[in-house]
Amino acid sequence: MSSRHLLSIRDLTSEDAITLLDSASAFWELSRRSIKKAPTLRGKTIINLFFENSTRTRTSFELAGKRLSADVINISVQSSSAKKGESLRDTVATLDAMHPDVCVIRHGASGAPGFVAERVNAAVVNAGDGLHEHPTQALLDAFTIRQAKGDLEGLKIAICGDVAHSRVARSGTLLFQKLGASVRLAGPRTMLPPQPESLGAEVFDRIEPALEGADVVMMLRIQQERLAGTYFATLREYAREFGLNSTRLELAKRDAIVMHPGPLNRGIEINDDVADSDRAVILNQVEAGVAVRMAVLYRLAGGGEARL
Amino acid sequence: MRTLLDEEAVDRGLRRIAGEIAERHAGAADLVLIGIRRGGVGIAEALARWMADLEQVAVAVGTVDITLYRDDAATALPNPRIGPSDIPCSLTGRDVVIVDDVVFTGRTVRAAIDAVFDYGRPRRIELCALLDRGGRELPIQPDYVARKVDVASDERVDVIATNGRLRAVVQPLTAPSIPPPT
């Protein structure tokens, strides 16, 4: 592909994705050494610009940059000029004038990273924008699946929960299909996207048919603070109808793995007996996150001709 | 395509080097051979086999990928394929022999030395190459080499594996590249 940004999974061909995932295994190995650092991005500057709170994604990007020896600066909305009324456009123009090589952006508005990418010299990485996409999450999920299953080709992947409000589900669906898997989306009708066919996935309003024979079960986080009372009646009802427990998991393949982007709502979308079982690869996902983000930063900050 | 070392010459050279390494590192207890991906990996493994055959010593073998340590990592990598490094043990206090197929500018070796240090602090690092083709740009010299030859700058040295045996050939820089032996 020719983009110098990573804004959407649509920017990647399956070959680009495979190259990134392959190189991520080298970075994964690096993070397990006693000296977790390579000099590759020495002298490069990375700005993490987070308009939404996210400790885990920001930490993951920060570690990824630092393990490649880049200088990493974190800016969060609480301490930034956005509070003083500065527009996104002026904020990024100001930052760009300091010549960062990569700008990692999380924003509540869909398309904000794309808006920024058109206006800066830095390479832009989308770290989650509104209801749109979260491409590095999809890559780390694919990396984790490859670790467990070798390859995505032919796998059945169930993504369950609040699909409509999930950029994780959207990016994941696009990437997993690109890599040859078939995707099933399941959730209450109020939480399914209005035009699910545009994602090319099978859609279910119950969780059981999605789980049947699945190789991978990915549970999405219910944003209780935002959604209770409007999209479903009570958390208890949601947990009863859509929560993953060990009994329901028996519908999936015997060696199916369970994923969750975190943070977990234990007892709501996922029960302890699943989350703490050896089927859960949730911490592997966290580890994969650093490796995959190192691969992305390396490709985008790798200078002159580097393209994803 | 011109042959620099045929299979016999490669075997003779590696056998001699295996003897030299075994002699200099009596017992080889603290010794680790580290092949530089990808060309040096097969050579390191062949050396370990010769050392087992001739000297009855089992020597640890690892591989290192130097992509992240290149001095041009930030400018010259249009489509890098980074591979995993595989170091079997901590290198602190060990004698390390870095193994490559061909030593040329010395930049790869410089990167490999940096990479090795990230796995511990070896007591000593030596360099072994099947071929030394001259053209050094850094003050780096191999300690063990099967053959030293001068190769023109518009030519390339390839080490080719056939049926598990290696030979070294020279061809024009423009010739399609041959994947290194694995």
Contact check, Cβ <8 Å, A29/B82: no
Residue B106 inside a domain? The answer is yes
Q: Is the pLDDT of residue A227 over 80?
A: no
Phi then psi for A79, rounded to 5 degrees? -105, 5
Q: What is the pLDDT of residue A194?
A: 85
- pTM for the whole thing? 0.87
Q: Is the preceding omega at residue B2 within 30 degrees of 0, hence cis?
A: no
Residue B35 inside a domain? The answer is yes
What average pLDDT does chain A have? 92
Q: Which residues of B touch A296 (CB under 8 A)?
A: none
pLDDT interval class at A101 (50, 70, 90): very high
Interface predicted TM-score of the whole assembly (ipTM), two decimals? 0.74
Instruction: Tell which wins on pLDDT, B44 or A233.
Output: B44
Residue pairs between chains A and B whose CB atoms are closer than 8 Å:
65
Q: Is the pLDDT of residue B182 over 70?
A: no
For residue B110, the enclosing domain spans 7-68+85-145
Q: Is the pLDDT of residue A277 over 90?
A: yes
Residue with tokens 């999405």: A220
DSSP characters for chain A? ---SSB--GGG--HHHHHHHHHHHHHHHHHTTSSS---STTTT-EEEEEESS--HHHHHHHHHHHHHTT-EEEEEEGGGSGGGGT--HHHHHHHHHTT--SEEEEEESSTTHHHHHHTT-SSEEEEEEETTTB-HHHHHHHHHHHHHHHS--TT-EEEEES--TT-HHHHHHHHHHHHTT-EEEEE--GGGS-SSGGGGT-EEESSSHHHHTT-SEEEEPPP-HHHHBTTTBS-HHHHHHHH-B-HHHHTTS-TT-EEE--SS--BTTTB-HHHHTSTTB-HHHHHHHHHHHHHHHHHHHHS-TT---
Q: What is the pLDDT of residue A86?
A: 82
Residue B80 inside a domain? The answer is no
Q: Tell me how many domains chain B contains.
A: 1
Kindly identify which residue of chain A lies nearest to residue B79, measuring between CA atoms: A306
Nearest CB partner across the interface for A26, out of B74, B75, B83: B83
pLDDT in tens, B81-127: 677 788 888 899 999 999 999 999 999 999 999 999 999 999 999 99
Domain containing residue B58: CATH number: 3.40.50.2020
Q: Is the pLDDT of residue A80 over 70?
A: no
pLDDT in tens, B133-171: 999 999 999 999 999 999 988 999 999 988 889 999 999
Residue ranges and CATH numbers for the domains of chain A are 9-133+287-301 (3.40.50.1370), 135-283 (3.40.50.1370)
**A185 strand-pairing partners:** A159, A203
Kindly identify which residue of chain B lies nearest to residue A40, measuring between CA atoms: B68
Kindly report the nearest CA distance between residue B3 and chain A, in angstroms: 34
Among B63, B66, B67, B68, most A C-beta atoms within 10 A, so best to mutate, is B68
Residue B181 inside a domain? The answer is no
Mean pLDDT value across residues B68-93:
75
Instruction: Tell which wins on pLDDT, B12 or B163.
Output: B12
Residue B156 inside a domain? The answer is no
Instruction: Tell which wins on pLDDT, B36 or B174.
Output: B36
Q: Which residues of A touch B68 (CB under 8 A)?
A: 26, 30, 38-40, 68, 298
Q: Which residues of A touch B78 (CB under 8 A)?
A: 305-307
